[in-house]
Chain A
Amino acid sequence: MSADSAQVAPELVPVVRRYMNDVPHNRALGLRVVDFARDFFTVELPYDPRLVGNPETGVLHGGVITAAMDSASGGAVLVALDRPQRIVTLDLRIDYLRAATPHEAVVCRASCYKAGYHVAFTRAVAYHDDPAAPIATASGTFVIFRTPPPTAAGGPDGSEGAAT
């Protein structure tokens, strides 16, 4: 992982690195975190015949792209926070611009362009090699369930880890 994680809150780095492995569906899809910084989060979905939606063309099912976009967008919210918080997707809009090319991995790059106290806003793009030739674009909103930071005396651990 070539993560430039310098800007990401130190507490978040292990959470983000575990993100794919801790989420059973991400693991089932074979999603992997490729790169992240405070202002973006990139995941890669390897091509897998089990995820094909059209047996005649070998093109991935749209649902796979939806799930990958959701995971990438959730990751973008996590890295934008100051410490781990539970987040859930409120809504996600996906536009399918063209079919994914069979046998090629899909990259989803997401950014959280506004993280408010309760709500975060994301956009994401899915592509093979060139972000300027997108397969799909997404915009999402996430609810952040903020808990107070743990006290020095060992208060409640607010860390709920990654949620999608």
Chain B
Amino acid sequence: MNLREAIVHGKATGDFSACVAQIAYLQFMGISMEVVAGELLGHMAYSERIVGNARADALHGGTLGALMEATAVFTVLAQEAPVIKVPKTIGITVDYLRSAGRRDTWARALFTRQGRRVASVRILCWQQDRDKPVAAANAHFLLSPMS
């Protein structure tokens, strides 16, 4: 299955694991996409290599940004509109809200605006308690429908 086929498969089934498996960086980071109770969630497994401050037991802020960007990309791909090319990130603004500890991290993306050329996405990122997010982000993506 090439990347395009994996994207088509993911759109049809909601299961993007074949797609994630082809992206070296997501493997390196321990990032996967999981459907939990009908929601597409990004999941980043804890590993030593994502730590930013070993003394404070805090994850590196950049890894939270990466998880949120990846979750947003797959949320854009999963939508019903015919987006089958990986959307290009125009920009992302990350707010760091709480220290993220040495444990698994989750993210969920929601569209704030879906246009034909640009999608605006809001992303939340949490660890044990979804009501206490560790980070939030806004991202814009350039879409290439049907191309």
Binding site for B on A (CB under 8 A): 22-28, 49-56, 60-64, 66-71, 86, 88-96, 99, 160-164
Given A93-B93, A95-B90, verify A64-B60 contact (CB < 8 Å). Answer: no
Flag whether B53 is at the interface (Cβ < 8 A): yes
How far is A70 from B59 in the complex, measured between Cα atoms in Å? 12
How many residues on B have C-beta within 8 angstroms of the other chain's C-beta atoms?
40
Contact between chains at A92 and B66 (CB < 8 Å)? no
Given A90-B95, A92-B94, A164-B61, verify A25-B49 contact (CB < 8 Å). Answer: yes
Contact between chains at A91 and B93 (CB < 8 Å)? yes
Contact between chains at A25 and B96 (CB < 8 Å)? no
Per DSSP, are chain A's interface residues mostly helix, strand or loop, or mixed? mixed
Please name the residue on chain A nearest to B25 by beta carbon: A61
Given A25-B49, A49-B24, A52-B23, verify A88-B99 contact (CB < 8 Å). Answer: yes
Contact between chains at B63 and A63 (CB < 8 Å)? yes
Contact between chains at B61 and A92 (CB < 8 Å)? yes
Q: Which of A50, A63, A93, A163 gathers most chain B CB within 10 Å?
A: A63
Contact between chains at B52 and A163 (CB < 8 Å)? yes
Contact between chains at A51 and B28 (CB < 8 Å)? yes
Flag whether B58 is at the interface (Cβ < 8 A): yes
- The tally of CB-CB contacts under 8 A between chains A and B is 140
- 10 cross-chain pairs, A with B, having the tightest CB-CB distances, nearest first: A63-B66, A67-B62, A25-B60, A28-B49, A61-B25, A66-B65, A164-B52, A24-B51, A93-B93, A70-B62
Minimal beta-carbon separation of A93 from chain B (angstroms): 4
Question: 20 interchain pairs (CB within 8 A)?
Answer: A22-B54, A24-B60, A25-B62, A28-B28, A50-B24, A56-B3, A61-B25, A62-B69, A62-B89, A63-B62, A63-B66, A63-B67, A88-B96, A91-B94, A92-B65, A93-B91, A99-B88, A160-B55, A160-B56, A164-B52
